[in-house]
Structure 1
Amino acid sequence: MPAKNTASRYGWLSIALHWGMALIVIGMFALGIWMRELSYYDPWYKDAPAIHKSIGILLFLVLIARIAWRNINIRPTDDPALKPWERTTAHLTHIALYGLMFALMIAGYLISTADGRAIEVFSWFQVPATLYDLPEQEDIAGEIHELIAWALILLAGVHALAALKHHFINRDTTLLKMLGRDAKSPTDHAN
């Protein structure tokens, strides 16, 4: 399978970015929920947030790379069976998913740098605090971060359900293309 997309399917790089980011976002959501339950005396009290922040910064860099790759690469054609409203909804959903990820990461950055300290990324490098000491910055950014995280997970769930609906009910090629398969109907692949 080629790295670049074709008119009939996504290339391996787009597929790896899509599924890799999906798994990491779900993992980060679960880690965030779990971290909220930690007490001060828990051995993970400091390590879990440090891991969450480090992965968040790396995920932000991957998100930028993913959008750049998307912009220099062709997009496989939509399945011809899609209705105009489905095409529009899919396009708007992708924009919303990217927007929510950016907003989530910016809110996380504002939480982590509220006290003016840089974010240490796995002892590899630091991301400096550029905006800090705003009134209630950590609390407000924290509430926004949580709300956006829930919105992102819910929208990603709807996105996944829509892909499954297209695959199992509509029997079109929407999901197949993100699995690296050529844009033939599922029944064509069975033959």
Structure 2
Amino acid sequence: MKKEKPKYKQIIDAAVVVIADNGYHQAQVSKIAKQAGVADGTIYLYFKNKEDILISVFQEKMSVFIEGLQEIVVKEAPASEKLEFMITNHFSVLSKDKYLARVTQLELRQSNRDIRLKINAVLKEYLDQLDAILEEGVQTGLFAKDMDLRLARQLIFGTIDEVTTSWVMKDHKFDLNSQSSKVYQLLLNGIKA
């Protein structure tokens, strides 16, 4: 499988840097190849085109979030702790990779509708894990029993997303990880029973 080949990962990692530095529309395949240390033609052994690269970047990098969240969801811990772990994990992953943060928070939003639809399919897996935490919290009585789960999910993800976007837009001038407990407390106060 192509995803298991070392050059695939090299190209994905290079694409994150090139897209973050140049913007998606100015990120030429030749720049990605150069950053990855491969010939231009090698890119096409793994990807159909630049859109395919962007979608693959999102799929590969989002899998880190999803795997982390899946581990959190199955832990023997109250749903409120799982929510805190989720927020902390989200901020931690992005604070460690500023290029990835720029791509996810800015460049993916400027892509065309087809790309956004494919990205939304991947994002849905992440949101499904968040839903599992919220549903567990309602069932165990930690979260409000009459909570609108869809709205709660939007508020939680939207808050995390906006704090991260603000951090990127302000050139990382504040510590993203230090926002975890503040965001968690604000959100928890809105949904607890």
TM-score normalised according to structure 1 size: 0.31
TM-score normalised according to structure 2 size: 0.31
Larger Rg: 1
